[in-house]
């Protein structure tokens, strides 16, 4: 089966769940040849989606991905409600101590989002480095050398790391935009109060 330049071949032995799916990039001269080593290989020139490496991830990495999805939903919800609240406060003409209280609440909410994203980054580091240690476990009866199997075991971890780093970068950018909008609102309200 071929998808987007990747050729997916199921190994006939089916010995291990880790080595069931063989993903290789073939040149036009090799299209008729079938690989026989049974080792999973990800083509680094084509970005691999996370669902392609899901079977190769540990339970800890899968739980982290689910927590990252929940964090993403929370950050998007908080950003939408913050943008709505900033727009509502920007149209309001109230000045004084009562006008600064909603801005303080929004700043606390923004700080909470920043702390959650930072915590997710640290937790990701722990999960990634525990996962990288698993690359050295090689239980295989193929003709491939141990070094090549270890290097190929790094492939799913690198795809996992790349996808998680991208999501964390997007979440950090959303958190920064929330903080920037709140700061602009506070500056606008301070200027209005000075008049």
CA-CA-CA-CA torsion for 53, 59, 65, 67, nearest 10 degrees?
170
Tell me the β-bridge partners of 185: none
More confident residue, 167 or 25: 167
Quick: pLDDT tens for 35-77. 444 444 556 566 667 777 788 788 899 999 999 999 999 999 9
What average pLDDT score do residues 160-188 get? 89
Render the burial of 174-194: b for 16+ CB within 10 Å, e for the rest.
Answer: bbeebbebbeebbeebeeeee
* Phi and psi angles of residue 9, each rounded to the nearest 5 degrees, phi first: -125, 130
Which pLDDT score is estimated for 29? Answer: 44
Query: Residue 135 and residue 157: Cα distance in Å, rounded?
Result: 8
Question: How many helices and strands in the chain, by DSSP H and E?
Answer: 4, 3
Instruction: Specify the DSSP class assigned to residue 56.
Output: G
Render the burial of 132-148: b for 16+ CB within 10 Å, e for the rest.
Answer: eebbeebebebebeeee
Quick: pLDDT tens for 122-135. 999 999 998 888 77
Tell me the β-bridge partners of 3: 6
């Amino acid at each position: 089966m071929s998808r987007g330049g990747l050729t997916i071949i199921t190994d006939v032995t089916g010995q291990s769940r880790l080595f069931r799916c063989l993903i290789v990039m073939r040149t036009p001269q090799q299209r008729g040849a079938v690989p026989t080593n049974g080792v999973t290989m990800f083509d680094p020139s084509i970005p691999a989606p996370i669902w392609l490496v899901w079977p190769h991830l540990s339970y800890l990495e899968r739980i982290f991905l689910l927590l990252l999805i929940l964090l993403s939903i929370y950050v998007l919800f908080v950003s939408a409600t913050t943008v709505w609240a900033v727009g509502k406060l920007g149209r309001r003409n109230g000045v004084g101590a009562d006008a600064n209280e909603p801005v303080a609440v929004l700043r606390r909410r923004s700080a909470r989002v920043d702390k959650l994203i930072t915590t997710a980054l640290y937790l990701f580091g722990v999960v990634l480095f525990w996962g990288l240690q698993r690359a050295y476990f090689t239980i295989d009866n193929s003709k491939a050398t141990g070094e090549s199997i270890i290097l190929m075991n790094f492939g799913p971890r690198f795809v996992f790391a790349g996808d998680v780093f991208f999501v964390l970068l997007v979440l950090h950018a959303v958190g920064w935009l929330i903080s920037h909008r709140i700061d602009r609102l506070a500056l606008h309200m301070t200027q209005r109060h000075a008049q």
